[in-house]
Amino acid sequence: MPPWRVYVVDGDPLATRSLTTLLGQEADIETAAFSSAAELRAAAQARPPDAVIAEVTLPGGSGIDLIDAVSAADPDLVSLVVTSASDPDATGQALSRVGPLRVVHKPFKPHELLPRLRAGLERRALARALAAARGALEHQHDSLRAELATATERLVEAEHFAAVARVLTGIAHEITSQLALVGYAEAIRSRVADDPELVDLCDIIVSAHKRLCAMVDQVRDFVTEPHKASFPREPADVVAVVDEALGILRYDRDVRTRNLVKSYRGRPLAKLHREKFAQVVINLVSNAVLATRPGDTIEVELDTDEGGMVLTVSDRGVGMSPEVLARLGQPFFTTRGDRGSGLGVGICMQIVEEHGGSLTYTSKEGVGTRARVRLPLLEGGAA
């Protein structure tokens, strides 16, 4: 701990020298002497003291007024008022203003001055310790309050999630029942086998039926207890899977009004669940469509690097703010209002993670968004 800084001011040089000599014998006290109130006040502004010992009558002012002025900036300042034992008027003034415990007489007596000064310095040390403890307690209180707020928010989200999950489970059951009707497309296909165009349309309906059923299962899994589900994967030509997904989208009215540009640099091979990975591609492209206007370009790129294969879907649409970008993937968070469920990105992230990969986004408002899927390649799977 640094030494206590004690400022002494007295118009009598002999008294000042006597007091500084007495205090100089204390190892933990650093003394500075002044001859006027103005000098001490200037020094206190530059380097605040821990204690002030002032003569009651000073050249150009009162020692008590000086102490009051310095104490205004430091309420815990230790202060003693010096009077002469032969001056009853000054002594009476000091006693009435500061009380007997803060008045010392000259000539100075160590057994009178030092105990009073030490008592004041001890109170100052306790005040400092109390302030530090109060600061630490307030910091701890703020930290606990923040933790409580976070825990409360998570509890509310969990309750909300559970309530919505029950509703979605019921909806998923109803949708599954209705989707069974779409299965009649296979029967229709057998009856129009001589019409290639109708056969092609039936194949698309059958494929969409399977994909929608898988999506319903995925939603049902997503809103139940979180898990890391495993599903069968097999070696696949990623380009073929991406083209299959884009082929389903070509009948979408909004997709047809955009300029969809494909760029494949090679034909990487990876272990995929074809329907689930196609679901990811469809979701990414559909999101890009919603963020753009008719005539805008959406780029679908496929490439490889040292980390594996990389599928990128880019648009030059409205983009997202950092706050929105940070919340992507949170259950039920959507920027589409009533048009969105808030599950699409989260489901896609889950699918990609179950493939051992990652789905990341970069975006800037007014510039556009880039979604990047990175998956591991089959050994020797970069073609």
Residue 155 has pLDDT above 80, yes or no: no
Grade residue 368 by pLDDT with cuts at 50, 70 and 90. very high
- Annotated domain spans of the chain: 4-108, 228-375
Q: Is 338 helix (H, G, I), strand (E, B) or coil?
A: helix
Rounded to an integer, the average pLDDT of 32-50 is 91
Q: How does DSSP assign 155-167, residue by residue? A: HHHHHHHHHHHHH
Per residue in 74-92, pLDDT (tens digit) is 989 999 998 887 888 888 8
Q: What pLDDT is stored for residue 338 in this prediction? A: 47
Rounded to an integer, the average pLDDT of 108-134 is 89
For residue 39, what are its two tokens?
């000098």
Q: What pLDDT is stored for residue 311 in this prediction? A: 95
CA dist., res. 247 & res. 282, Å (int): 10
Q: What pLDDT is stored for residue 227 in this prediction? A: 46
Highest mean pLDDT (candidates 4-8, 93-97, 211-215, 323-327): 4-8
CA dist., res. 189 & res. 199, Å (int): 6
CA dist., res. 256 & res. 292, Å (int): 12
Residue 366 has pLDDT above 70, yes or no: yes
The sign of the dihedral angle between the CA atoms of 339, 342, 348, 349 is positive
CA dist., res. 344 & res. 283, Å (int): 7
Contacts of 267 (CB under 8 A, 6+ apart): 237, 238, 239, 383
- Of 38, 47, 29, nearest to 9 by C-alpha is 38
Q: What pLDDT is stored for residue 228 in this prediction? A: 47
Q: What pLDDT is stored for residue 191 in this prediction? A: 81
Residue 383 has pLDDT above 60, yes or no: no
First CA to last CA across the chain, in angstroms?
A: 71
Residue 135 has pLDDT above 90, yes or no: no
Q: How does DSSP assign 308-330, residue by residue? A: EEEEEEEE-SS---HHHHHHTTS
Rounded to an integer, the average pLDDT of 280-303 is 92
Cβ-based neighbour number of residue 198 at 10 Å: 14
Per residue in 183-237, pLDDT (tens digit) is 677 778 778 888 888 888 888 787 777 667 766 766 666 665 544 456 788 999 9
Q: What kind of architecture, by CATH, is found in domain 228-375? A: 2-Layer Sandwich (3.30)
Rounded to an integer, the average pLDDT of 15-19 is 88
CATH class of 4-108: alpha beta
Q: Which helix (H) or strand (E) holds 190?
A: helix 184-191
Residue 260 has pLDDT above 80, yes or no: yes
Q: What are the backbone dihedrals phi and psi of residue 293, each rounded to the nearest 5 degrees, phi first?
A: -115, 160
